């Protein structure tokens, strides 16, 4: 078991990573230290992991909410129902939410915790690879609006994250692969050595080797923690974490949320961002191909769905990174180094979109 500390301006919190952590009641009970708790999870996760967590938390657990699985829960309606559950459970300012699940559960519960009584504590027990490497660090919480993904939310840091690498063995194949997209992203944007490390472990990654996964999660969290600590509320530097995401959000939105998994859309989005980086001569043709090869070897999509250019541009303009001055995109300047670019030439962007369109 490894413990990584995320250092922020006002406080620090630990991320515990290792196999079988959800089955260690004494440690769980010590790490989750608030006196009154509401546990939020979904029915898939509950089936496998609710029992040990429930029993570890004992009488401090004042309520349990088991939601249907899926992105549709990131809604005002479900948020409102969580507030009802918090009130019914009598969760006051010293209480907390325990989020047991993937990104949907973490984003939704974290936002509920951010708003309830203007901010109570929450603990993340991420059960997907994506949530372990992405949502665990950074404090971004949100729900969706009909006009776009994650448009309603808050920055709210967890009090602790407990990432059990054993739980990833029961993850459906698509969800595991979707998580690998974000893993590869950290290599692209900030650490070419990590990219090479991944390239050397393709079989182990595809076989979900437990040690390889634990090491991967720890390295990704460390990279993300470094980027987030530099820019806690996303004024600048932190935006590089959105590499591939403006394209990806357009894919998710245009196809209807849930059709493409977030990580799948990000993989295809990163392929677009690599292509645009290459077209603008920010990375070499060789680096472009090296990037695509890694995504393909991990069985990730590199071809976006058939959307016309106007649809692409409309959805991309809705992205939170759009400003009055026009679209801002995260592009590479060589592998392992991402930058936020504000002066992307429209014709280059359109050429990349058209090359991928039907």
Measured from the CB of residue 341, what is the shortest distance to a copy of itself in angstroms? 17
How far from each other are the two terminal CA atoms of the chain, in whole angstroms? 48
Measured from the CB of residue 82, what is the shortest distance to a copy of itself in angstroms? 10
319 is annotated as contributing to ligand binding? no
Identify the residue whose tokens are 């959000």: 249
The yes or no reply on residue 342 touching a copy of itself (CB under 8 A) is no
Binder among 138, 224, 320, 329 for a copy of itself (CB under 8 A): 320
Binder among 20, 119, 203, 258 for a copy of itself (CB under 8 A): 119
The yes or no reply on residue 193 touching a copy of itself (CB under 8 A) is no
CA separation for the pair 233, 268 (Å, rounded): 26
CB atoms within 10 A of CB 234: 16
262 is annotated as contributing to ligand binding? yes
Measured from the CB of residue 305, what is the shortest distance to a copy of itself in angstroms? 24
Residue 355, CA distances (Å) to 269, 271, 273 in order: 14, 12, 13
User: Which of 140, 159, 219, 288 is an active site residue?
Assistant: 140
The yes or no reply on residue 94 touching a copy of itself (CB under 8 A) is yes
How many chain residues touch a copy of itself (CB under 8 A)? 35
Nearest one of 181, 349, 317, 177 to 250, comparing CA atoms:
317
CA separation for the pair 202, 209 (Å, rounded): 10
The yes or no reply on residue 340 touching a copy of itself (CB under 8 A) is no
The yes or no reply on residue 58 touching a copy of itself (CB under 8 A) is no
The yes or no reply on residue 118 touching a copy of itself (CB under 8 A) is yes
CB 99 within 8 A of CB 112: no
> Cα–Cα–Cα angle for 198, 200, 206, nearest 5°?
65
Nearer to a copy of itself, 30 or 93 (CB): 93
Nearer to a copy of itself, 196 or 229 (CB): 229
CA separation for the pair 358, 340 (Å, rounded): 28
Residue 127, CA distances (Å) to 139, 159, 161, 264, 299 in order: 17, 17, 11, 18, 21
149 is annotated as contributing to ligand binding? yes
The yes or no reply on residue 170 touching a copy of itself (CB under 8 A) is no
Residues 6+ apart with CB under 8 A from 195: 184, 187, 188, 294, 335, 336
Binder among 13, 31, 116, 312 for a copy of itself (CB under 8 A): 116
Whether 208 is catalytic is: no
Say what the alpha-carbon torsion angle 353, 302, 294, 219 is, to the nearest 10 degrees.
Answer: 90
Measured from the CB of residue 250, what is the shortest distance to a copy of itself in angstroms? 16
CB 210 within 8 A of CB 166: yes
Measured from the CB of residue 45, what is the shortest distance to a copy of itself in angstroms? 26
CA separation for the pair 341, 190 (Å, rounded): 16
The yes or no reply on residue 92 touching a copy of itself (CB under 8 A) is yes
Identify the residue whose tokens are 């987030």: 228
User: Which of 65, 262, 282, 320 is an active site residue?
Assistant: 262
Whether 242 is catalytic is: yes
Whether 230 is catalytic is: no
User: Which of 118, 173, 324, 325 is an active site residue?
Assistant: 118
Catalog residues that contact a copy of itself under the rule CB under 8 A.
Answer: 35-36, 76, 79-80, 83-84, 87, 92-94, 114-119, 140, 142, 145-148, 151-155, 233-234, 320-324
List residues with catalytic annotation: 118, 140, 182, 224, 234, 238, 242, 245, 249, 262
- Which residues does the annotation place in the binding site for NAD(+)? 103-107, 127-128, 140, 149
- Which residues does the annotation place in the binding site? 103-107, 127-128, 140, 149, 182, 245, 262
- Which residues does the annotation place in the binding site for Zn(2+)? 182, 245, 262
């Amino acid at each position: 078991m490894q413990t990584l500390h995320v250092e922020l301006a006002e406080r620090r919190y630990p991320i515990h990573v290792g196999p079988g952590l959800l089955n260690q009641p004494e440690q769980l009970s010590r790490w989750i230290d608030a006196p009154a708790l509401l546990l939020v999870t979904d029915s898939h996760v509950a089936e496998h992991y609710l029992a040990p967590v429930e029993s570890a938390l004992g009488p401090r657990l004042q309520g349990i909410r088991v939601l249907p699985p899926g992105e549709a829960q990131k809604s005002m309606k479900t948020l409102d129902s969580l507030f009802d559950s918090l009130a019914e459970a009598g969760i006051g300012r010293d209480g907390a939410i325990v989020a047991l699940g993937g990104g949907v559960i973490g984003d939704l519960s974290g936002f509920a915790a951010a708003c309830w009584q203007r901010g109570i504590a929450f603990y993340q027990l991420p059960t997907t690879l994506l949530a372990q490497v992405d949502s665990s660090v950074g404090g971004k919480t949100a729900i969706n609006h009909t006009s776009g993904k994650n448009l309603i939310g808050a920055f709210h840091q967890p009090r602790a994250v407990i990432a059990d690498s054993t739980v990833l063995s029961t993850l459906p194949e698509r969800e595991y692969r979707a998580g690998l997209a974000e893993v590869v992203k950290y290599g692209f944007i900030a650490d070419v050595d990590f990219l090479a490390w991944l390239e050397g472990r393709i079989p182990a990654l595809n076989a979900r080797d437990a040690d390889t996964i634990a090491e991967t999660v720890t390295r990704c969290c460390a990279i993300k923690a470094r980027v987030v600590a530099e820019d806690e509320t996303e004024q600048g530097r932190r935006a590089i974490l959105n590499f591939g995401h403006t394209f990806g959000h357009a894919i998710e939105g245009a196809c209807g949320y849930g059709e493409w998994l977030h990580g799948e859309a990000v993989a295809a989005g990163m392929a677009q961002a690599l292509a645009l980086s290459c077209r603008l001569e920010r990375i070499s043709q060789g680096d472009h191909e090296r990037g695509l090869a890694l995504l393909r070897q991990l069985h990730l999509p590199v071809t976006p769905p058939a959307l016309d250019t106007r649809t692409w541009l409309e959805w991309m303009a809705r992205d939170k990174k759009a400003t009055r001055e026009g679209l801002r995109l995260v592009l590479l300047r060589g592998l392992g180094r991402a930058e936020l670019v504000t002066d992307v030439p429209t014709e280059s962007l359109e050429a990349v979109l058209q090359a991928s369109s039907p």
